[in-house]
Amino acid sequence: MDIKEYKRIYKKTGNKYNARSTQYNGRNYHSKMEASYAMELDFMKVGGIIKEWIPQYKLSLDINEHHIANYFVDFKVIYPDDRIEYHEVKGMETDVWRIKWRLSLAIFGKENFVLIK
């Protein structure tokens, strides 16, 4: 197989939801909207509104000591009073995302989650 044939067969198609991977502050984000929100969180940190934020934070979804799945929430946000919120920036909602989102709300509590659309 020559290089032209390889490129024809393995042509990169991009994201099926038209999200564009975007870099901000040396980190790649899944979409422009997510990178823009990371910038907003940086401004909130400088302004003292939040203490810290962590991108792509892993939540283990366990029920009755059985591991169901992992869910990587877009941002874990820590406030000055040490209150924690999980922020999800969402464009296109998939069925798998909806299930993991609902499980997260049930396990960790609705008051700890923020959905940004």
The per-residue pLDDT for range 66-93, each reduced to its tens digit, is: 999 999 999 999 999 999 999 999 988 9
Give the pLDDT band (50/70/90) at residue 11: very low
Show me where the domains of the chain are located. Answer: 28-116
- Residue 1 host element (H or E): none
> Is domain 28-116 annotated with CATH 3.40.1350?
yes
Query: What letter would DSSP give residue 30?
Result: S
User: How many Cα atoms are found within 13 Å in the side-chain-facing hemisphere of 54?
Assistant: 11
Output the average pLDDT for the chain.
88
For residue 115, list its beta bridge partners.
88
Give the pLDDT band (50/70/90) at residue 20: confident
Query: What letters, b where the CB count within 10 A reaches 16 and e where it falls short, cover 62-85?
Result: eeeeeeeeebebbbbbeeeeeeeb
Give the pLDDT band (50/70/90) at residue 19: low
